[in-house]
Amino acid sequence: MENYIEVRWHGRAQQGVVTAAKLLGESCLISGKYVQAFPEFGPERMGAPVRAYNRISSDPIRLHCQVTEPRYVLIADPTLIGVVGVTDGTPADAVFIVNTAKPAAQMREELGLKGKGARVYTLDASKISLETIGRVMPNTPLLGALAKVTDIIPLDALIANFKENYAKKFSDKVIEGNVSAMKRAFEEVKGD
Amino acid sequence: MAITTKGQIGLTGNTAIAYAMKQINPDVCPAYPITPSTGIIEDFAGFVADGEVDTEMITVESEHSAMSACIGAEAAGARVMTATSSQGLALMWEMLYIASGMRLPIVLTNVNRALSAPINIHCDHSDSMGARDAGWVQLYSETVQEAYDNLIQAIRIAEHTDVLLPTMVCLDGFITSHAIENISLISDADVKGFIGAYKPAHALLDVEHPITYGAMSLPDNYIEFKHEQSRAMARSKAVVSAIGAEFGKKFGRSYGLFDAYRLEDADSVIVILNSAAGTTKVAVDELRAQGKKVGMLRPRLFRPFPFEELAKALSGAKAIAVLDRVDSMNGFGGPLFNEIRSALYETDSRPKVMSRIYGLGGRDYKVKDALGVYDELGKVVSTGKVETLQKYITL
Amino acid sequence: MEKESKGGKQPLGGVIPKGGTADDYSTGGWRKLRPVVDNTKCTNCLICWVMCPDSAVITKDGKMMGFDLEHCKGCGICAVECPDKVKAIKMEEEAD
């Protein structure tokens, strides 16, 4: 059977979850992994719920279907909880990282995971991004948090990829803002 | 772009196709972007604007005009490429036949998307299968890597003097076009060397040798033109094989007319195109681990249809399910089913063949769907009877 | 391998592979009406030469010399376009 890490990102259009999946995929690829990063598009409007996925493996990936049983779920917008099935298909040892100012214990309750084995982490990614990047863009902070609470990718690799591959696209200020956002999220993410 | 220690980078199907177009550097690219192939033209327009290619990009008012401009430019003597999807390819329909009838080696990327109605932007093969008899060579691609490699080979196939036919490279909308996957790129110099310079058979802009394109041909010779076009299509099969082998020798990735997976002693076989083949391979491995004799075959070349080679490869099977991501709406299964079944008519073994239509309008095709089909095939193998000749799955 | 079609090798893609081939194609036989010019009335304005769709008006040194009946299809445009004050071209029944 195939051996994958599977990740699902939940957000709304324009919150950067497709880019987050892309950044995670690229960073893992640089470290020698085989990756997939792909979005699931619905109505293409600002604010519409969007999902994006990653598969990461040491072997070439042949599956070309959606990720339906992700172990890792990142939620860029907590207002989606209860609106879309953020816990659908997740295994007992799933890991949830939620952008919210609320503590993880409370999020666990809202996710309906009280007394379950899943790990739940929270961070105020919106606030972090506002203070570092200058606008609400929770995607890079969520990546920083992922680096902290899982061993999918080290923080250094995320930062190195961002600095190396986005220097042309973004100004130094934007690059630095995102790097600080990842670093702060790495420090501030908390479990219950 | 992120580059790994293995020399690989992560690109979406659309980005990889645009990058191949940049390396090919066609003379003219008339285009009218449409989802999900928009990214190709968007990226390529960027290369044009940045001066990385010297392509004449023509923004037109419809896909009909895009293909018309392709025809005019190719007849003038230019190397021409474009990309489209779905309704776009449908709107090109009458011009597709003119491109092939005039023997103009235009290369088009079709990012497979369902046809309206109901309106849908997601993957199925209704668009390119609708154009299957338009006289274009058709290559289908399982991965981002193969789509990139196919496009580079398509230039050589189309422009080969034994062929001189327009060629279409198909890849799955969103599943391949919008997914980042690992891919190894070929250097610009190697691509340039592989495709060579384009020497048109005739060129309207060659004023030393004036010619007429688009003349009338009546009953006294129309059929002869079509006969020659048909023979060129038949000849292209050998060219596709030879170029796939040459590509493999130069760049380490060989391509044949089809991709056979664990087929040698397989009793039950799924035949399927494009990205869903990868998902099917995972199901094959799962069943092989249980000792079940199952395999998969993925045609890469659909036009011309390599009926002899496919029949030979499948003749050892006992039960075959042909999975089409399109319905011919003929009351008798999909196009791939009909042609595979017809190809097997001449074999002594005559395996049982059934049609399964899946994944229309982007409906997900999972490992469990493939396992379900293999389960049905297992029953056909043990009873020797096909209970349901044709049906929809993934409903 | 299938043998060549009875029509033999056709020009690729239906192109006409050289210029001026219309000259070899006699269309004079399509004519029902034949143009006839009255040289005493003709002012050599050459409007007929401009308007003729088959380039079948013969000219020499800026003068109207008559018609190339190998290619004239007898459409009568020359007769219509010949100025009203001149009317030097008449269409006559080919059969007469």
User: How many secondary structure helices (H) and strands (E) does chain B include?
Assistant: 13, 15
Are B148 and B272 within one domain? no
From residue A71, give the alpha-carbon distance in Å to each of A20, A120, A131, C67.
17, 12, 30, 88
C-alpha distance from B170 to closest chain C C-alpha (Å) = 25
* Average pLDDT for A135-156: 96
In this structure, what is the dihedral angle of CA atoms B66, B67, B70, B71, given to the nearest 10 degrees?
A: -140
| C3 found inside a domain | no
C25 at the B interface (CB within 8 A)? no
Q: Give me the residue from B2, B142, B366 closest to A26, CB to CB.
A: B2
Domain ranges of chain A: 5-191
Q: Quick check: C7 and B221 CB within 8 A?
A: yes
Give the gap in angstroms from C-alpha B50 to the nearest C-alpha of chain A: 14
Strand partners, B81: B107
Q: What is the DSSP secondary-structure string of B251-276?
A: HS----SEEEES-TT-SEEEEE-TTH
Residue with tokens 């990720």: A67
Give the sign of the dihedral formed by CA A13, CA A19, CA A24, CA A28.
positive
Q: How far apart are CA A127 and CA A91, in angstroms?
A: 30
What is the residue whose two structure tokens read 């596709």? B240
DSSP label at C24?
A: G
For residue B128, give every residue at least 6 positions away whose Cβ sits within 8 Å of its Cβ, in sequence order, or none: B89, B110, B112, B138, B168, B170
Share of chain C above pLDDT 90, in %: 78
Determine B/A contact with 3+ CB pairs under 8 A as the test.
yes
Mean pLDDT along residues A120-135? 97
DSSP letter, residue B3: B
> Is the same domain home to B239 and B281?
no
pLDDT value at position B241? 98
Contacts of A65 in chain B (CB under 8 A): 279, 364-367
What is the SS3 assignment for A74? strand
| B106 and B238 inside one domain | yes
Full domain range(s) for residue B309:
260-392
Domain count, chain C: 1
Q: How much is the pLDDT for C60?
A: 96
Q: What is the reported pLDDT for A47?
A: 76
A29 at B interface, C-beta within 8 A: yes
Which residue would you say has higher pLDDT here, C4 or A107? A107
For chain A, list the contacting chains (3+ Cβ pairs, <8 Å): B
Q: Which of B1, B282, B289 has the CB atom closest to A165's CB atom?
A: B1
Question: Are B200 and B90 contained in the same domain?
Answer: yes
Predicted local confidence at residue B2, as pLDDT: 54
Of all residues in chain C, the one with the smallest CA distance to B200 is C12
C6 in any annotated domain: no
Residues in chain B closer than 8 A to A63 (CB atoms): 278-279, 282, 367
Model confidence pLDDT, tens digit, residues C59-96: 999 999 999 999 999 999 999 999 999 999 999 998 87
> Is B133 inside a domain boundary?
yes
pLDDT at B55: 98
The predicted structure's pLDDT at residue C1: 43
The H or E element that residue C92 is part of is: strand C89-93
pLDDT at res. A85: 94
Is position C4 within any domain? no
Cβ(C62)–Cβ(C46) below 8 Å: yes
Query: Which residue of A39, A61, A165 is in closest CB contact with B178?
Result: A39
User: Which CATH number belongs to the domain containing residue C50 in this structure?
Assistant: 3.30.70.20
> How many other CB atoms sit within 10 Å of the CB of residue B57?
16
In the predicted structure, residue A46 carries a pLDDT above the cut 70: no
Selected for mutation to probe chain C from B100, B205, B228, B308 (highest C CB count within 10 Å) is B228
Q: What is the pLDDT along chain B (395 residues), one digit of tens a residue?
A: 555 556 899 999 999 999 999 999 999 999 999 999 999 999 999 999 999 999 999 999 999 999 999 999 999 999 999 999 999 999 999 999 999 999 999 999 999 999 999 999 999 999 999 999 999 999 999 999 999 999 999 999 999 999 999 999 999 999 999 999 999 999 999 999 999 999 999 999 999 999 999 999 999 999 999 999 999 999 999 999 999 999 999 999 999 999 999 999 999 999 999 999 999 999 999 999 999 999 999 999 999 999 999 999 999 999 999 999 999 999 999 999 999 999 999 999 999 999 999 999 999 999 999 999 999 999 999 999 999 999 999 99
**Is there a single domain that holds both residue B381 and residue B347?**
yes
Across the interface, whether the CB atoms of B367 and A65 are under 8 A apart is answered: yes
Computed over every residue of chain A, the mean pLDDT equals 93
Nearest by CB to residue B4, choosing from A29, A63, A164, is A29
Work out how many domains chain B is built from and give that number.
2
**What is the spatial distance between Cα B360 and Cα B336, in angstroms, rounded to a whole number?**
15
Is B291 found in the same domain as B185? no
Residues B208 and B300 in one domain: no
In eight-state DSSP terms, residue B349 is S
pTM, to two decimals: 0.93
Q: Is residue C11 part of a domain?
A: no
Mutation choice for B interface testing from A65, A67, A165 by most B CBs within 10 A: A65
Distance of CA B212 to the CA centre of its chain: 31
Residue B366: CATH number of its domain: 3.40.50.920
Residue C8 has pLDDT above 80, yes or no: no
Residue B337 within any structural domain of the chain: yes
Q: Which of B172, B182, B275 has its CB closest to that of A29?
A: B182
Contacting residues of B for C15, CB less than 8 Å apart: 102, 202, 211-213, 215
CA B372 to chain centre: 27
> Residue B102: its chain C contacts at CB < 8 A?
13-15
Query: Hey, are the CB atoms on B279 and A1 less than 8 Å from each other?
Result: no
| Cβ-nearest to B211 among C6, C7, C17 | C17
Q: pLDDT of C15-58, one tens digit each? A: 999 888 889 999 999 999 999 999 999 999 999 999 999 999 99
pLDDT given at position B7? 80
Q: Is C18 on the interface with B (CB under 8 A)?
A: yes
CB contact A66 to B (< 8 Å): yes
The gap from C-alpha A94 to its chain's centroid, in whole angstroms, comes to 14
Rounded to the nearest 10 degrees, what angle do helices B144-159 and B188-195 cross at?
Answer: 30
Q: Report the CATH number at residue B164.
A: 3.40.50.970
Query: What is the β-pairing status of strands A34-40 and B180-184?
Result: antiparallel
Nearest of B258, B259, B257 to residue B240 by alpha carbon = B257
Q: Which residues contact B199 (CB under 8 A, 6 or more apart)?
A: none
Residues of B in contact with C6 (CB under 8 A): 224
The crossing angle, in degrees rounded to 10, of helices B93-101 and B63-76 is: 10
Q: According to CATH, what is the number of the domain A5-191?
A: 3.40.920.10
Are residues A63 and B182, on separate chains, in Cβ contact within 8 Å?
no
B138 and B64, same structural domain? yes
Q: Is the pLDDT reported for residue A84 higher than 80?
A: yes
Q: What number is the ipTM of this complex?
A: 0.93
Domain around C48 = 39-96
Q: Are B197 and B344 contained in the same domain?
A: no
- In angstroms, the CA A20 to CA B376 distance is 41
Residues B269 and B352 in one domain: yes
Residue B41, by phi and psi: left (phi above 0), alpha (psi -120 to 50) or beta? alpha
Interchain contact B5–A (C-beta under 8 A): yes
